[in-house]
Structure 1
Amino acid sequence: MRPDGPRDPVAGSDDGPSAPYPIRLSGPVIKGFGRGSKELGIPTANIPAEGLDEYPDLSVGVYYGVVALDPARFAYEDDAPILPAVLSIGYNPFYKNKTKSIEIHIMPPLSAPSPTATADGPVTFHKLPDFYGTPLRLLILGYIRPEFDYVSLDALVEDIRVDCEVARRSLQRPAYASYLAAGRADEEDVRGQTSWLTGFES
């Protein structure tokens, strides 16, 4: 069960990602368990979990990072090539999944208002049109927390809402925000990562 007590507002060092991050994962967006949008109201983009074979020591849990979708298949309305994301890797103890999955919730640009900023009233999560089959690339930049079981669906949704806010605040720090600035990053290693992220073949 999730431990009691307040959550940390950010995750990871203010100096930027440290080993083993950034971690690269990619694949076509596939159908998941069908619960994200329908039952939880939290749209997710799932990609095949086989890419995790390259990272056998990666813990299950919740992470934050940045994603890009192949613009030949999906164009974001604000023409933002890289978007912030929060994701889970694991088995989701609340649902007792038997297979490991990668479930990515793509958030709006950090310059846009956050739909998950407050728990007052109905909670809404960012939703994009369906893009099954679209190639997706993901850079994991940090770890937020382990997986937990929950006493109720509402408790699970609230913790995911907080995950979104932790991810947003973590990515707003300068050392992480540079990963969202395709073609404008100052450091060579960050430019290399964002070039890979957006380097879809036409």
Structure 2
Amino acid sequence: MYNYISTALAIVRTTLEIAEAQRALARCGPAAPSSLGNDLQLRCWEGSIATLPAYQGPADLIVVVEGIEDVQAQLLAGSLLLKPGGHLLWAVPSSMAGAGFALTDAVHAAGKGLPMRLTALGCHHALFQVPEGYALPSGPLSVRGSVISGHGRGSRQLGFPTANIDPAALPEAFHALALGVYFGWARVDNGAGIHPAVMNVGKSPTFEDADPKLSVETHIMHTFDRDFYGKELHVMILGYLRPELKFSGLDALVARIEKDVGLARTQLASSRWLKCQAHMINER
């Protein structure tokens, strides 16, 4: 599965299951060579992956040996801790494996809408992978629309101004996307500047007064000297970072947006996505 693994985490219910996680890791590939002469050590967390501190990640590989309760929450938490290209191996504890538990239906339902794809499925385990570069499965998707007024929360409450476009005017392929956070390149009014951008497609569940209608909000990582309502916004959507989440408050939401923006900047600096920026430049 992997040529090298540099960081691996195991999430277990009890210390008795650490050996199961170690055996799973051994099947996944050799550890990355270390200039310090240190061998890979499997870091273990006893408890639910939902309570795993964020500083434990990101990881190349996460081995989850938990119960079957709330599989979706476990897979979501794992997807947010993986590096691009990383794998999550979700396994049923051996105590349940002998009870004839089948993982198939639970995994297919729980994995829907997450930023990773199912690559292998057995009776008692499932293997997922976050795509390299968080790439969309169907490839880059270009969308265009006139900038409309929104609720003003992005700039006023969050510190991340956004340009909104009407989802009704967007192509059918766009509406097949899961609700969540994406990144790509953005250009306003066919101008020369093509800038990094993060796009949220969703219904703003953190806000109590949120409009139940779908909104498409793009934060462009550039300082503009004037508003551009009514101008055409062209966004080339390249990657999917995470599903839309409901946060406990504004501080938690802002912290996550900051992380999303950081991830997007890092990915867009790669040669893979810089080629897409060059393609947009040549479209003018």
Note if 1:48 corresponds to 2:162: no
Identify the residue that residue 82 of structure 1 maps to in structure 2.
194
Identify the residue that residue 39 of structure 1 maps to in structure 2.
157
CA deviation profile, 1:160-197 (whole Å, cap 9, x unmatched): 0110000001111111012223xxxxxxxxx3x5544x
Identify the residue that residue 146 of structure 2 maps to in structure 1.
28
Query: Which amino acid counterpart does residue 179 of structure 1 have in structure 2?
Result: C
- After superposition, the Cα gap between the structure-2 partners of 1:165 and 1:127, relative to the gap in structure 1 and judged at 3 Å, is farther
Identify the residue that residue 219 of structure 2 maps to in structure 1.
105
CA contact (8 A) 2:162 2:220 kept: yes
- After superposition, the Cα gap between the structure-2 partners of 1:12 and 1:105, relative to the gap in structure 1 and judged at 3 Å, is farther
Unaligned runs of 5+ in 1: 109-125, 182-190
Identify the residue that residue 132 of structure 2 maps to in structure 1.
13
Query: Which amino acid counterpart does residue 105 of structure 1 have in structure 2?
Result: H
- After superposition, the Cα gap between the structure-2 partners of 1:18 and 1:162, relative to the gap in structure 1 and judged at 3 Å, is closer
CA contact (8 A) 2:182 2:242 kept: yes
Cα separation, 1, equivalents of 2:167 and 2:141: 14
What SS is found at the alignment partner of 2:204? Answer: coil
What SS is found at the alignment partner of 1:29? Answer: strand
The normalised TM-score by structure 2 is: 0.51
Identify the residue that residue 101 of structure 2 maps to in structure 1.
none
More strand by share: 2
Cα separation, 2, equivalents of 1:146 and 1:18: 13
Cα separation, 1, equivalents of 2:136 and 2:83: 19
Tell me the percent identity.
37
Identify the residue that residue 94 of structure 1 maps to in structure 2.
206
What SS is found at the alignment partner of 2:148? Answer: coil
Query: Which amino acid counterpart does residue 83 of structure 1 have in structure 2?
Result: H
- After superposition, the Cα gap between the structure-2 partners of 1:45 and 1:128, relative to the gap in structure 1 and judged at 3 Å, is farther
CA contact (8 A) 2:143 2:171 kept: no
Q: For this pair of structures, how many residues does the alignment match?
A: 160
Identify the residue that residue 118 of structure 1 maps to in structure 2.
none
Identify the residue that residue 65 of structure 1 maps to in structure 2.
184
Which is greater in Rg? 2
Query: Which amino acid counterpart does residue 197 of structure 2 have in structure 1?
Result: A
Note if 1:148 corresponds to 2:245: yes
Aligned pair partner of 1:171 in 254, 265, 268:
268
CA contact (8 A) 2:144 2:170 kept: no
Note if 1:158 corresponds to 2:252: no
CA deviation profile, 1:15-65 (whole Å, cap 9, x unmatched): x84532211111111101121111112100001111445123210000000
Cα separation, 1, equivalents of 2:166 and 2:220: 16
What SS is found at the alignment partner of 1:28? Answer: strand
CA contact (8 A) 1:26 1:137 kept: yes
Unaligned runs of 5+ in 2: 1-49, 55-80, 85-129
The normalised TM-score by structure 1 is: 0.70
More helix by share: 2
